[in-house]
Amino acid sequence: MSKFVTREKFIPYNLPDLTEAEINEVTDTLRSGWIAKGPRTNQFEKDFAAYVGAKYAVAMNSCTAALHVALLTQGIGAGDEVITTPMTFASTASTIIHTGATPVFADIDYKTGCIDPDEIEKKITSKTKAIVPVHYSGQVCDLDRIYEIARKHNLFVSEDAAHALCSRYKGRLIGNKLMGTASYSFYATKNLATGDGGMLVTDDEETARKARIFSGQGMSKNAWNRYAQGGTWKYDICEPGFKYNMFDIQAALGLQQLARLNEMQAKRLKIAEQYNAEFAKIDGVEPPFVPDYTTHSWHLYVLRILPEKLTIDRDQFIVELNNRNVGTSVHFIPVTYMSAYTNRFGFKQGDFPNCEKHFERIISLPLYPTMKDEEVQYVIDAVRDIVEKFHK
């Protein structure tokens, strides 16, 4: 029997990694007198584009906004279909509906949790205009296959890179040499956190120009500058746009988080490697499968339990972890299980078998740069203890 002893202090599932550098940049911003979109947002866009190796970056107040705008820049709307994955957060699909188009779901590759290109091909009709692949958890989708399908059928690709800052496909950072767009999230739990925030990147000048207009109330160029000396009070609204822009307090966090990103990533990688090595030795759970073409960002550590080897299911496993003071989450309850989607599209059990099987097995474990070594070891010991107690 193991000698596992439950710790007193709860290990949260996630914590942001904020230092004096971020705090000082925010207070400097407050003291500067410019708190709306302005110089820091512009600088963050430049620095971010340079980091991922994209020509243009447009900062927004969320990834949801960026995903919406990405489709709008391509004129996608009523009567169109857009293919995406059910294993994602709702906004990937909701933003398709917000354009007036219809989301069409394609099942995942069970090994990676990412959308399966073969399933995409099956869902293409004469109405299909775009694909929104999600780099799930920081894995990357099989991009060569996806872009090959897109070229063949003349489809736009809007990569949902909410989890994929620092992910690489065949050695190349997501966002680098893009043929479509990539949209990142800076929500509090993300690898780079600004509380809420997002970024759309593209190598296409026209897409970037439209993204700026759609995300900035449809205003003509540089209208943000209209209150500065030398700025002009005149502006045009050339589209009925959205109030989606980032502002400088968010960008202040973003600038300093970006400067510390490589250091934070190294810590994530170390934890993920320790988890991978230890969970591979435990008969009853399965560490994530990472294909050769993926450099994982380790935004999420999604452990799968193997119910065929255990007397408890995933939900009970989470209760057992919680009883041992380990915080968890589940990414994701499939979008196709949500009432807004089942009511609208009539989805039923068995429609997306790989996604359903994956969902029944997954638990997101704590993984963040400020985790202490003993906390990482404790999470491993807690998982081992549960598997030992509930092994068939």
Ligand X SMILES: Cc1ncc(COP(=O)(O)O)c(C=O)c1O
Distance from the Cα of residue 214 to its chain's centroid: 22
The residue (of 41 and 62) whose beta carbon lies closer to ligand X is 62
Closest approach of ligand X to the CB of residue 60, in Å: 9
Q: How far apart are alpha carbons 391 and 389 in whole angstroms?
A: 6
Task: Please list the active-site residues.
Answer: 190
Closer Cβ to ligand X, 113 or 117, answer by number: 113
| Integer CA distances (angstroms), 8 to 11, 22, 315, in order | 9, 31, 22
Nearer to ligand X, 14 or 220 (CB): 14
Residues contributing to the site for ligand X (CB under 6 A): 62-64, 88-89, 91-92, 134, 160, 162-163, 185, 187, 198
The HSE-up count of residue 350 (CA atoms within 13 Å, CB side) is 0
CB of 90 to ligand X, least distance (A): 8
Shortest CA distance to 156 belongs to which of 202, 189, 219, 199? 202
Select 88 or 336, whichever has its Cβ closest to ligand X: 88
Q: Exposed, middle or buried, 18 (CB in 10 Å: 0-12/13-18/19+)?
A: middle
Q: Helices 373-389 and 261-279, interaxial angle, to 10°?
A: 30
The dihedral of CA 248, 253, 257, 259: what is its sign? Answer: positive
Closest to 304 in 3D by CA, of 334, 336, 275, 267: 275
The residue (of 185 and 278) whose beta carbon lies closer to ligand X is 185
CB 294 within 8 A of CB 169: yes
Strand partners for 68: none
80 closest CA partner among 13, 173, 156: 156
Least separation, in Å, of the C-beta of 144 and ligand X? Answer: 21
- Find the angle CA(331)-CA(182)-CA(117) to the nearest 5 degrees: 65
Smallest gap from residue 14 Cβ to ligand X (A) = 11
**Residue 226 CB, nearest distance to ligand X (Å)?**
27
CB of 305 to ligand X, least distance (A): 21
Nearer to ligand X, 64 or 139 (CB): 64
What values do phi and psi take at 304, rounded to 5?
Answer: -105, 135
The distance from CA 369 to its chain's CA centroid, rounded to whole angstroms, is: 17
As a whole number of angstroms, the distance between CA 195 and CA 188 comes to 4
C-beta closer to ligand X: residue 299 or 324:
299
Shortest distance, CB of residue 143 to ligand X, whole angstroms? 16
